[in-house]
Every structure is written in structure tokens, then in C-alpha cells.
Amino acid sequence: MKKTGASLLRYALEQVGVKYTFGIPGVHNTELYDEIGDSELITPLLVTHEGGGAFMADAISRTTDSIGTLLVVPAAGLTHAASGIGEAFLDGIPMLVISGGIRTDMAHRYQLHDIDQAGLLQAITKARFKVTSQKDLVPTIFEAVRIACDGEPGPVFVEIPLNIGAFTGEVDGVLPTFNKPEPAAFDGNGALGRQLDDAVALLKNAKSPGIFAGWGARFCEDTLVELATLLNAPVSTTLQGLSVFPANHPLSAGFSFGPHAVPAAENAFRNCDCLIAIGTRFSEIPTGSYGIKAPPNLIHIDINPDVFDANYPAKAKLAGDARVVVSALLDALKSSGFKSQVEGGAVQAQIQRDRDAYRKEWFAHDSKGRVNPARFFAQLRAALDDDAFVVADDGNHTFLTAELMPIHKSRHFISPTDFNCMGYCVPASIGAKLAHRQKQVVGIVGDGAFTMTCMELLTASTNKLGVVQFIFNDGELSQISQAQEIPYNRKVCTVIGQAKFSGVADATGCAYLPLNSNEDVADVISEALKIAAGGKPVIVDVRIDYSKRTRFTKGVVATNFKRFDTRTKLRFVGRALVRRITG
């Protein structure tokens, strides 16, 4: 039988469980859009910019069991989307990237959008395919999804030339069906079994064990809680993995550990003699620019064995899906007759004292008429449901969120991390709201990051998506401007113009609420959530106070300064002093 590539694409996407596609129609993919538009299972969503579409697709993959899918025009559509694709690649997020392509049945050169798309995306995708016939289209999509989700997840690119998508071609009489892959069972034999035995032995001898959990632990929250309870071990998380362990659990110490972490985490891990690291690569941000000191007795669990020993050497290396490996470790500990050497109540009490003291320290800070971040987050947490989704962008507000905003459910906090791309929050929160219309979704975004993708709020209002954007507005790119102040004593290209965000609200059909002081925090947050519940997006313009540094910022600056040689230290300090004196 003969079928168009467009109809085969629709079939394939329905088979793999795609719920939404994001992009903009163009000459090379109009047939694809027309076919997807007839699907009862897939909603194609028009975005204002393909970069926003990529962040929306990212959010779908992070917060649902469906794969986020782009459907874009070739060339410019892909270059616009590249930042979001790169974010997914470095953060380990599955994504299906589909573009149209130039005709392959013509001899003419220099066609519109004629570039090597696979070459363009080589550095930021796991695999790249170009469909050469209609009969290959469905198997290609199935293989692309398998690769995107297998092992350490990531984006996969599929190019569908115009003549394949729009014209008919011969296919087999019975189309294949898609079988969703399941995590491989734990193989307790051989080397992996010996590594498991080594891990159990290390934990049985530990006097102060700890758990460091990353995004790879997102599907094993209950098992992780049980493991932490059995060990009486404090749990800290990476930034991307902030939600994988409930922050309202008494063993939750907070974001990371070491000199850049909040006191609860720094103190809880101060004497850690055996660390279980789960689903983390020990990359720069979660380690505070590699400022943590992991104990020699490190048990490292990750789906990608290439991460083992990359930055911190491990005594036991357990390669596999955390859902399977953590469960196997828990079972092995139980069957070994494990008894914790730690008095759990003392650990929990210390964590709670440190939490309370840090909160008190923040509340005592004089914000001089602006909004105190701790008071803002305390009210926001009180106003949100436990299953609300919180989306943060990249900037100073990210680390304020990590330190001051408890997240109670796994996969309910998302943020750009290793690629660290500004402009993520607005579109990603729209993607999260699209997939979870009955849940509260809020974005925490700096004023600089907001200006990058704020017009995507038109997509939110058009689709009646009541998402709230809390803009932390201080007129600067504060994470970098703070880093400039001490060594340079001046700010270069980090002071931004005073945008009127009420105008953005008018242009995109959003409600606008100013938040100027601590006294208004509770009422404004309540009003914003009430408006959003009616399906209208809301911009809350928060006159934030950034004068108090986060522990992360102070810790990372100190860590990096210590690495400088004496000559460089003197140059930086001397320059700063001269500029301070001379003004």
C-alpha cells in the first residue's frame, strides 16, 4: 500500500505516546502539520519562537511520561531551537526533534534552507537520522525514541525531506507497533554483584553515611526515602535533582553540601565517611565548582558508567537505572542484617536546628523596603499545593529558590542546569502547565532572563494556561553583577534597562500585579494564584532585594579564589582596592 510520510509520522507519534508537538509551520512541514492536526491524540502547539518550543518540549519530558517533541522548519527553525536542544542534551532529557528537509528528489542545488542539519546538531544530540523513504519513516521514529530514552536520555534528531513527507510511497501492509522499553533488571552476578557487595560492606562500616541524589533518582522517591531512613543518613540533592527527595522529610538537608551549601547540609555532611551518590555526574554546579570533598568511601550509582571516577574516585561503582539499582542496594542491606550505627534522631534534630537558624537569619535581614526573598518563598510555599510545579530560570534567583523554597514531590521542580540557559522559565512553565492543567504552575525568573522569552506568554494566554511568572526585578543580571562587584568593583554589561513589564502583560493578554514590599507578599501571591486558576496567565513584578548573598554564591567565589596562584590573587585584590579608593 502507499502512504504519505505525513500520515506515517502521525501514526508513529501516536504509537510512541506523543501528546504535544511544538514549533512553527513552514514550507517544508505544512503537510506534516496538516496531518497532525487531524490526530485525536496529539495537539500541535504554535509557539512564538522555536527556542521557546524546545523549552516547552523539555518540560513535557521532565514532568510527564511522554517524550517532548519539536516539529520545526529546517535551518532557522533548528538554529532557533538549538539552545533548548542543547539544554536537554547536557541535562539528560529525552527529546524528539523533527524537522522538515529540502527535497531529495531534485537535482537542483541551493534550495531554500539547504544546510547540513545533522552536522549542525552533532554536538547536542545523541543520534541523527534522515528518512530516505516512506517505508523507513515509522521504524526511524521508533528507533529515535528508543535512543532518546535509553541509557542516559537526550535529544535525537529526525529530518523528513519534503518529498517524503508530502508524497506517497510504498510501505508494508501491516505497520509495526511500538513497545515501550522497561528498565533492565539488576544483574547481581559477576562484576556488578561484587560491586554491590562492596557497597554493602562500606555502609555496614560507616559511622556517618550520607546520600547525594541527582536527577537520575527522580523515579525512586519512595525507595530513596526508605534507604535514607534505614541508614539514618542525611540527604542532599543536586540543583536539577532538587525535588527527588521530599524537602519536608526530616532527613532532607537541602541543595548540595560543602562550603557553598546551606548550614543544614554543610553540617550534616561535615563528617560523612561514606557517601552514596545517585544519578549525578558531580558536575560544576552541584559540587559548588568542585568545592565539595567527597569521602574516599564513595558509592556511585549512575546509568552512564562513563561518569564514574570522572571527577571523584569511587570505591563501588553500580551502573544501571537508579530505580533498579537503589532497590537492589536496599534489599541487599536488609538481607545482610544491616543495623545503622547512627542515632537518627540526633541527625534529624541537627538538620532542623540548622534550617530554623538559617530561616531566622534571612528573616532578620533588612531588605530596606524591597521584598525579602525568604519572606517571599515562605509565603509562596504556604500558598502552593504540595503537588504544584515550580520552574526556575538561570540566575541569582535560581539559587535563592534552591536554598529557600522546599519542593515536596519528585519532578515538581525543573530548571536549566549543566547547559545553564537563560530564557528557560517562561516557556518551560507553559509546557508544564499545558501537561498539568489542573495543577498550580509557577515560574521564578530574573528580569534579564524574562526579557529573553517573555513574548511566549502569548502562547499561554491563547491556550488559556494560567501560569504565574514571578519576575525577580532588580534591574541587573545579578548573579554576574554580584560576581563582578568584589574583584572588579564595577559592573560591565550587567545593568539592564528598566523595562515596564506591565506593557508585556498588555501585549500578551496577561494579568499584571506589582509586588513592592514584604507587607504585600501574601496578598499578591494569593491574588495571582486566584487569577491563574481561572486560566489567565499572570505576571507578578517582584521588587526583590538581592543585597544578601546566597550561600552558593559566597561559597563558589571563595572556592575559585583559593585556586588562584598568589600572583593572580594579588592582582585581583589590588585592582579592586585601587578602584574602591579612586571610585
Max CA separation in the chain (angstroms): 82
**Residue 489's pLDDT is what?**
66
Which uninterrupted H or E stretch holds 235? strand 235-237
- Please tell me the total number of residues recorded for the chain in this structure: 583
pLDDT at res. 512: 98
Q: What's 218's DSSP letter?
A: T
> Distance (Å, rounded) from C-alpha 354 to C-alpha 132?
61
Dist. CA 196–CA 373, nearest whole Å: 43
Residue 330, SS3? helix
Band (pLDDT 50/70/90 cuts) for residue 62 is: very high
Cα separation of the two ends of the chain:
79
What pLDDT sits at residue 355? 97
Q: Which residue has the cell 537535482?
A: 107
pLDDT tens for each residue of 295-313? 999 999 999 999 999 999 9
> In the structure, what pLDDT confidence band is assigned to residue 189 with cuts at 50, 70 and 90?
confident
The pLDDT value given to residue 125: 98
Say what the pLDDT of residue 486 is: 65
Instruction: With beta carbons less than 8 A apart as the criterion, state whether 430 and 63 touch.
Output: no
For Cα atoms 271, 272, 273, give the angle at the middle one, nearest 5 degrees: 110
Is the model more confident about 228 or about 485?
Answer: 228
Tens-digit pLDDT profile for residues 87-110: 999 999 999 999 999 888 888 888
State pLDDT tens for residues 255-297: 999 999 999 999 999 999 999 999 999 999 999 999 999 999 9
Amino acid identity, position 152: E
Q: What is the chain's alpha carbon radius of gyration, rounded to the nearest angstrom?
A: 25
pLDDT reading at 22 higher than 90: yes
Percent of the chain with pLDDT over 70: 97
At residue 126, the pLDDT reads 98
